[in-house]
Amino acid sequence: MPAAAPGRGKLIVGLALVGSIVLMAILADVISPFDPYQQNLRLRLRPPMWNEGGSFAHTLGTDNFGRDLLSRLIHGSRLSVMVGVAAMLLAASLGTLLGLVAGWRGGRAEALIMRLADAQLSIPEILLAILVVAAIGGSALNLVLVLGISGWMVHARVVFGLTRSLRERPFVEAAVSQGASGAFIVCRHILPHLLPVMSVVATLQVAQMILQETALSFLGLGLPPPAATWGNILAEGRERLFVAPWIANLAGASIVLLVWGVNILGNGLRERFDPRG
């Protein structure tokens, strides 16, 4: 029997988990049983169906305003996935561009960009994110901008290192000697070589972005209530932890499932592209 391709199991588990959550986010309006913002004060803090007093109508129970928890969690997946992916895309674009410039041009551009990356890396993103979001407010766009701009350094470092070593390779030298422009060589000969590693870094970063977004929401710095985000639901559940622990726990479990799925997917990709690692 031939050995299974490296990372296959992880790729399958990760893809299945992340795929179903993304599907849930896309179909949120269709599959959620209730309007996530519809309040019903007579049905406050109903437990999930498996607890005493729960009912099939509200499968996962209701929150402090009688809103259906399942519907809120389904809609919450939307924001987490969207913010996580969008912030990663922004960070990856910025980082790749700067990393390519630093690695290809070398010299002063390299010194400036990589020194900036070092400087920004030594300050945890969340610290400055808290400060900036507190000042400009937590809209989805602001969250993406803040998280994206504070996360470019990983990409830049990886792209920089690979670009510098690729620059010495014969096929790049051949292209240079034929008079190809720098931009052409970078797009045609260097970028394709970077894609596998970049995809691993990008996937693992989505997990970080989601965690940071939910952390900011939890601290009250994400989308303002009543927005149904996982961090908000968890923060609201914390207020009622003694009487309705299921609210916080179900939101927490949702976050863990998504982030864990993304991490597994990223690790699977890494094993596939770099079996030694």
Partner 1 sequence: MLHYILRRLALVVPTMALVLLVVFIVLRITGDPAELFLDATAGPAEIAALRTRLGLDQPLPLQFARFVWDLLHGDFGTSLSHQAPALPVVVERLGPTLQLVAAALGLAVLLGIALGLVAASFRDRLADHAISAVAVFGQSMPSFWLGLLLIQAFALELGWLPTSGSGTAAHLILPALTLSAFLLPNFILVTRTAVLEAKREAFATTARAKGLSPMRVLLRHVLPNALNPIISVLGLQVGHLIAGSIVTETIFAWPGVGRLMIGSIYQRDVPIVAAAVVVVSLVIMLTNLLVDVVQAILDPRVRI
Q: CA torsion, points 94, 158, 18, 128, in degrees to nearest 10? A: -50
Question: What's the min distance (Å) between Cβ of 200 and partner 1?
Answer: 14
- Residue count of the chain, please give it: 277
Compute the distance between CA of residue 211 and CA of residue 247 in angstroms, rounded to an integer. Answer: 18
C-beta closer to partner 1: residue 162 or 259 = 259
C-beta closer to partner 1: residue 62 or 80 = 80
Question: What's the min distance (Å) between Cβ of 235 and partner 1?
Answer: 8
Alpha helix (H) residue ranges in the chain: 8-26, 28-31, 69-105, 107-121, 125-136, 140-149, 153-167, 170-177, 182-185, 191-218, 230-239, 245-273
C-beta closer to partner 1: residue 123 or 174 = 123
Per CB under 8 A, residues contacting partner 1 are 115-116, 118-124, 126-128, 130-132, 134-136, 207, 211, 214-215, 218-221, 234, 237-238, 241-242, 245, 248-249, 251-252, 255-256, 259-260, 262-264, 267
Question: What's the min distance (Å) between Cβ of 57 and partner 1?
Answer: 26
C-beta closer to partner 1: residue 43 or 257 = 257
Question: What's the min distance (Å) between Cβ of 27 and partner 1?
Answer: 24
C-beta closer to partner 1: residue 32 or 217 = 217
Question: What's the min distance (Å) between Cβ of 233 and partner 1?
Answer: 11
b/e map 187-212, b = 16+ CB within 10 Å: eebbbebbeebbbbbbbbbbbbbbbb
Handedness of CA 123, 76, 79, 235 (dihedral sign): negative
Please, which residues have CB within 8 angstroms of residue 257's CB and are 6 or more apart in sequence? 17, 21
Q: What are phi and psi of 125, to 5 degrees?
A: -55, -40
Q: Output Rg (C-alpha) for the chain, integer angstroms.
A: 22
C-beta closer to partner 1: residue 159 or 251 = 251
Question: What's the min distance (Å) between Cβ of 110 and partner 1?
Answer: 15
